[in-house]
Amino acid sequence: IAEATRIANPGCYATAIELAYAPLINNDLIELDDLVVVAASGTSGAGRKATASLLATEVMGSMSAYKVGGLHQHTAEIEQELTAQTGEQVTLAMTPLLAPMSRGILATCTATAKPGVTQDAIDLAFQNAYVDEPFVQVLTQTWPTTAAVAGSNNVQLRAVLDPHANRITVISTEDNLVKGAAGQAVQNANIMLGHKETAGLSAIGVAP
């Protein structure tokens, strides 16, 4: 990034989902052909255009799915970047949901665990992956929430092993307007221009 003159910022869904899966892929902890994501986004993810289905009277008190069946535009980007992590083809099934909130993404990312994987191995993979990342917070005792990251450039992650189903679930959350958009652009610009990566950005949410 420091050498680049142009940067393509990752999409908001792509950021939340790729950060959830990358440590699992890089440590060979999951099967690559069974990645399933159900992710909810606030209405601002669709922009500012006046659309009836995004009006507060339509959204508040209700949740709905959209672009189901591999139709979401971020799916190809996520598969491309996760495949680049391993060199093997990654297949993703993604169901996006519209949540009754103005901003934020919460993604539930699951995958089949490889034989012998333990919770300790999962925790170690995430800690090692993000120990030096100022805007990625790995949780082990509490669960990520959209309120905790609202207005910040932070991503919260928590990964757990479900021994009964032999699956790993990662909960990932971010503010789609900051880490998923403008904040991420500022972070990249800081690196390109030789500034401190965290300049002008906060890892602390503004809730309540």
CB 19 within 8 A of CB 117: no
Q: Specify the pairing of strand 35-41 against strand 92-98.
A: parallel
User: Active site residue: 12, 117, 148, 150, which one?
Assistant: 12
3-state secondary structure of 206: coil
Let me know the angle formed at the C-alpha of 64 by 60 and 70, rounded to the nearest 5 degrees.
145
| Sheet-wide strand order for 64-65 | 64-65, 92-98, 35-41, 105-112, 167-174, 155-162, 136-138
109 is catalytic: no
Active-site positions read: 12
